[in-house]
Amino acid sequence: MLSSLPEHFREHGLKADVRTLLLLRKAMQKGLVKTLGDIYNVLKGIIVKDPSDMGPFTKAYYAYFLHIPIKPGQTLEDAILRSETFQKWKTDYVEEADRDITDEELVNTFLDEVHLTSYDIKEVVSGKEIWDKDNPDQEDTDPLNEDDDIPSRKLDKMADYSELSLEELLERMEKVREQQKTRHGGGSHWIGTGGISPYGHGGAAKNGIRVGGQGGGKMARKVMGDKNYFPIDRDSTLNDNNIDAALASIKGVIEESATEKLDVPQTIKSGLKRGGLFIPEMSSEKNEELKIIVLIDNGGYSMAPYVRTVQNLFRKMRTRFAHDLEVYYFHNTIYDRVYTDERRTKAISIEKLLSHSKDYRVFIMGDAAMAPYEINSLSIESLKAIPQKFKKCVWLNPEPIKYWPHTYTIQLIKQLIPMFPLTPAGIERAVRSMNSKGTEG
């Protein structure tokens, strides 16, 4: 089992040997590996030693575990769409979804399932018991408002709704929908996220109904994308419900570069045909390049609801695309340093940040609302230096755009760095501006 893995990864230019296999097996024995997503994360920790390893590692992983080879010049999406593995998966999924789905949606859902990591499920509870105790006519008296944070997907138990028929679930869900006024998360009653309710997404409900969003543990018996059940608002601030739409928007920062390289097999093959006259044959190899620096304001209460979702967005990018991604933190504004850890205890100087290649795309996330004295000569110097070095630089602001004109510091920063709302639509506009010759807010 997996005995050929080290050799396969070495063929992609990666350092892998019998120790790689032993460490993976040890992780399996300790129960750390239950899904393909777990294997991806464990192997990445063992094999990837440098950001430049991510591209070859991604190709090796997809070829070995999913039988999806990524050819030179071929995008991951195209390789997936052409693979037999995807076609088999698609047949089952489309029948289950019962609606028209674009290729992009299908590939995103496929990748969600491939990179799904296992929950640490310690207890399985009876969905029937939850169902019997639940009141379908319960009024929505304590909904989350737009500024509240959805509980994180950290589940230690799963509800099993196998004893209930699909008709019962659909009928009850319709009653709940009539009472529901807005989003909910982490519970067992509403159509929401991250809980054990029989309807919603991102939770742990076996044989429930997935409504919108990404899957949890491939547990649902029916998938519904009807916007009347779970609307996706591209103009609402980034949250767990619209994060996949934001991911699709941010994909636009990927660039492809073509390099000429000696095609040794073709040179030999052609030379033998010529009777020993070996003329170097060159081939063009396209590589996806994505170099991103993310600077996140995580220093105050106003930004707290958004930090985890932003981190989740770029974590998904790590697993989807082969690229170099660096994340730093600051509080309110950027002075002479930023931090490599969330607690802001490990600092690097602005000079070191500016020593990165000018090819990096820079996303700054913050509400830009602070006391006017914080915009001093030191912070202004840094806020000018970053877009001067990194020409493709934008500021994403979670504050509703209607409040921007009333905040002095937002207006000031907006003059220094192109600013866009932290919404899927805003991110799409930011990416388009990055890809144009000039950037306009």
In a domain, 244, yes or no: no
In a domain, 42, yes or no: yes
Residue 194 CA to residue 200 CA, distance in Å, equals 8
Per-residue model confidence as pLDDT tens digits over 71-127: 877 777 888 898 999 988 888 776 655 566 788 778 878 887 777 665 545 566 788
Full residue range of the structural domain in which residue 375 is found: 290-435
Q: In the predicted model, is pLDDT for residue 438 greater than 50?
A: no
Per-residue model confidence as pLDDT tens digits over 355-412: 999 989 899 999 998 889 999 999 999 999 999 999 999 999 998 898 899 899 999 9
- For β-strands 255-262 and 393-397, DSSP reports them as unpaired
User: Could you tell me which residues come within 8 angstroms of residue 320 by beta carbon, excluding any fewer than 6 positions away?
Assistant: 76, 111, 115, 247, 251
Per-residue model confidence as pLDDT tens digits over 61-85: 999 999 998 887 777 788 889 899 9
Whether residue 268 sits in one domain with residue 225: no
In a domain, 241, yes or no: no
In a domain, 239, yes or no: no
Of the three residues 183, 199, 231, the one that is the final residue of a domain is 231
Whether residue 279 sits in one domain with residue 354: no
Q: If pLDDT is split at 50, 70 and 90, which confidence band does 166 have?
A: confident
- Helix, coil or strand: residue 101: coil
In a domain, 430, yes or no: yes
Is residue 140 within 8 Å of residue 105, measured between CB atoms? no
- What distance, in Å, lies between the first and last C-alpha atoms of the chain? 54
Whether residue 419 sits in one domain with residue 376: yes
Whether residue 103 sits in one domain with residue 26: yes
Q: What residues pair up with 210 in beta bridges, in sequence order?
A: 200, 223
Domain count, the chain: 4
Of the three residues 114, 131, 156, the one that is the final residue of a domain is 114
Is residue 115 within 8 Å of residue 36, measured between CB atoms? yes
Predicted confidence at residue 440, as pLDDT, reads: 42
Q: Decide which of 314 and 371 is more confident.
A: 371
Q: If pLDDT is split at 50, 70 and 90, which confidence band does 224 have?
A: low
Tell me the average pLDDT across 46-66. Answer: 84
Q: If pLDDT is split at 50, 70 and 90, which confidence band does 415 have?
A: very high
Sign of CA dihedral 329, 325, 400, 431: positive
Per-residue model confidence as pLDDT tens digits over 269-306: 766 666 665 566 655 454 445 688 999 998 777 787 78
Residue 11 CA to residue 16 CA, distance in Å, equals 10
DSSP H/E element including 329:
strand 324-330
Whether residue 151 sits in one domain with residue 52: no
Q: In the predicted model, is pLDDT for residue 310 greater than 90?
A: no
Tell me the average pLDDT across 36-59. Answer: 81
CATH (domain of 375): 3.40.50.2300
